[in-house]
């Protein structure tokens, strides 16, 4: 416990120091027509997630070196992109290298090729979804606490990952939440934050799935998955560029057009995901047939609710 308190204080100091650096070098997020905020705000506060993982790496004697190398590459390129807006080609090359390093740490290269291929697709997809979903105050923090909390619960009896990697990273999330979970946020996570925490949680989730041999744990990401996948499909149907910034997610329609309190939306996303995760943990002990029925029911039910709510909100609040 003493160690966690010391790490928390250290991370808080690092975050406050970053604020001074960001303010000095004008690392800010200016609102535009696609933004869900209206005032200039410091960008990149989510770098504290990386600091948490870095402290773990040092104290552990450099445990998970390939993972940390990939995380460092991903964090660095995302931070530079927050400042300079890099070309997509450069970002994609670094992301590709980072995911390969994670795959190597997970020993996917020793498995049949389709494990590596499917793992690569899932990791790249989830990291980008996590980044796209970071659009209102508190949503990245609430959702990360939910997913990280679920992983910690399973780790108590499964021991699939070093506990301190998750704890130190989530301490960073708590610190970030203090400055972000406000009507007027002190800082935003930035690409550096959303990408870093997604990379960390995905690594832990990958270890869990590989150790248990159970894919049902992917439902720890079901809420983000539903919103991201359906939004992409809807944008593709309208022949839009899915890589351009937009305000087409359900949470954005609820917060911007319908006027629902954005902090309430963020809390709701995290809370519902946590409840679903608790059910996943319970069902994970059941037979494959039960898990299949459960997974199908959850994904189908969430999709139906999502589409109905989104259509209703758009019809009522969005001007054609």
Residue 131 is labelled as binding a ligand:
yes
Residue 88 is labelled as binding a ligand:
no
Q: How many CB atoms lie within 10 A of CB 90?
A: 12
- CA–CA–CA angle 58, 60, 62 (5° rounding): 60
Q: From 191, 201, 175, 183, select the one nearest 80 (Cα to Cα).
A: 191
In sign, the C-alpha dihedral spanning 267, 271, 273, 274 is: positive
Q: Which residues pair with 130 in a beta bridge?
A: none
DSSP string, 132-168: HT--STTHHHHHHHHHHHHHHHHHHHH--S-HHHHHH
Is there a contact between 81 and 93 (Cβ–Cβ < 8 Å)?
Answer: no
What are the strands, taking DSSP E only, across 59-216?
187-188
- CA–CA–CA angle 53, 251, 72 (5° rounding): 20
| Residue positions forming the annotated binding site for Mg(2+) | 131, 191
| Residue positions forming the annotated binding site | 131, 191
């Amino acid at each position: 416990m003493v160690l966690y308190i010391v790490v928390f204080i250290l991370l808080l100091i690092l975050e406050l120091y970053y604020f001074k650096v960001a303010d000095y070098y004008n690392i800010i997020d200016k609102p535009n027509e696609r933004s869900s905020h209206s005032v200039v705000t410091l960008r990149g506060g989510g770098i504290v997630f990386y600091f948490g993982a870095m402290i773990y790496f040092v104290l552990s004697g450099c445990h998970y070196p390939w993972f940390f190398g990939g995380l460092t590459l991903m964090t660095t390129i995302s931070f530079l992109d927050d400042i300079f807006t890099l070309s997509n080609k450069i970002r994609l090359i670094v992301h590709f290298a980072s995911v390969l390093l994670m795959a190597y740490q997970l020993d996917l290269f020793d498995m049949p090729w389709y494990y590596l291929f499917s793992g690569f697709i899932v990791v790249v997809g989830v990291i980008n979804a996590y980044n796209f979903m970071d659009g209102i105050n508190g949503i990245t923090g609430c959702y990360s606490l939910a997913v990280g909390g679920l992983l910690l619960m399973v780790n108590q009896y499964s021991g699939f990952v070093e506990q301190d990697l998750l704890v130190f990273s989530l301490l960073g999330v708590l610190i970030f939440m203090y400055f972000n979970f406000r009507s007027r946020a002190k800082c935003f996570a930035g690409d550096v934050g959303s990408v870093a925490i997604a990379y960390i949680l995905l690594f832990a989730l990958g270890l869990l799935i590989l150790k248990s041999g159970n894919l049902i744990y992917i439902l720890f990401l079901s809420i983000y998955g539903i919103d991201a996948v359906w939004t992409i499909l809807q944008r593709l149907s309208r022949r839009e560029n899915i890589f351009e910034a937009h305000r087409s997610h359900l949470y954005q329609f609820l917060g911007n057009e319908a006027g629902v309190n954005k902090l309430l939306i963020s809390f709701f996303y995290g809370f519902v995901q946590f409840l679903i995760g608790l059910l996943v943990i319970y069902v994970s002990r059941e037979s494959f047939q039960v898990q299949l029925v459960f997974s199908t029911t959850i994904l189908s039910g969430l999709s139906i609710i999502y589409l109905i709510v989104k259509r209703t909100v758009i019809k009522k609040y969005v001007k054609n």
